[in-house]
Chain A
């Protein structure tokens, strides 16, 4: 690894594909393990990517998860093609969800997804619009002594 970020994963996520839901997170976890990333950081990353991946499966028209790594940090990008988050502030409020009853019965839609992402990420940036979909960028520090 060097100062320049290298792409280590780019995986398509399909809308409502519960069969593959979690695969991108699982793939990234295996890659990070092989790269020797500390297990606490791998765990944190898995929580973040699983939430973001399932958001794409449940709420979007489809998207992709990309991971880049340098010596200092891990960058996760999750981009979807819409329909966008209507109220971003509410989306970051614990307990708020727009998921259907059917999705909630499966144990999703508790309104803890983005809350969990924010809790474990060192930096998070979310841009969302009806026209361009939702674009999440998360940074996880790799040089933190607590890792």
Chain B
């Protein structure tokens, strides 16, 4: 599944979408950047409440498919700018991480 297909299927909001054709492979949930760096895997979706610019640096280094900001948190403006420059997809949703992860599981993501 591509990020674009994910967005359509789960009704996610695209805040920055420079790379929506990217394939999705699994997901990781966490708000501590060190853990995400060490544990998330290439192609993962990253569900988090962190919306600042260093989230983009981590997503880029781990080569994540997209960041999904949950619970209607907002990205900082400089994070959005940096994501567009670096080709990182930033999505958001009103849902909680657990609810969204359950939806992903039902769809075998």
Contact = CB atoms under 8 A, between A and B. Distances in A.
SS class of chain A's interface: helix, strand, loop or mixed?
Answer: helix
A26 B37 contact: no
Interface in A73-110: 106-108, 110
Contact of B78 (A19, A25, A112, A116): A19
B61 A18 contact: no
A110 B58 contact: no
Contact of A112 (B32, B42, B55): B32
B96 interface: no
B50 A106 contact: yes
B43 to A, nearest CB: 13
B58 to A, nearest CB: 7
Given A18-B53, A19-B53, A107-B50, A112 B61 contact: no
B31 interface: yes
A69 interface: no
B84 interface: no
A24 to B, nearest CB: 10
Contact of A26 (B33, B35, B55, B57): B57
Contacts of A29: 61
Interface in B29-60: 31-38, 42, 48, 50, 52-55, 57-58, 60
* Contact residues on A (Cβ < 8 Å of other chain), bracket: 20 to 34
A47 B50 contact: no
A107 B32 contact: yes
A19 B78 CA distance: 8
Interface in A119-139: 119-120
Contacts of B53: 18-19, 21
A116 B34 contact: yes
A107 B61 contact: no
Contacts of B61: 22, 25-26, 29, 46, 50
Q: Can you list the 4 inter-chain pairs with the closest CB atoms, starting with the nearest?
A: A22-B57, A112-B34, A110-B32, A107-B33
Given A50-B58, A54-B54, A112-B38, 18 more contacts: A18-B53, A19-B82, A21-B53, A21-B57, A22-B58, A25-B57, A25-B61, A50-B61, A51-B34, A106-B33, A106-B50, A107-B32, A107-B33, A107-B48, A108-B34, A110-B32, A112-B34, A113-B34
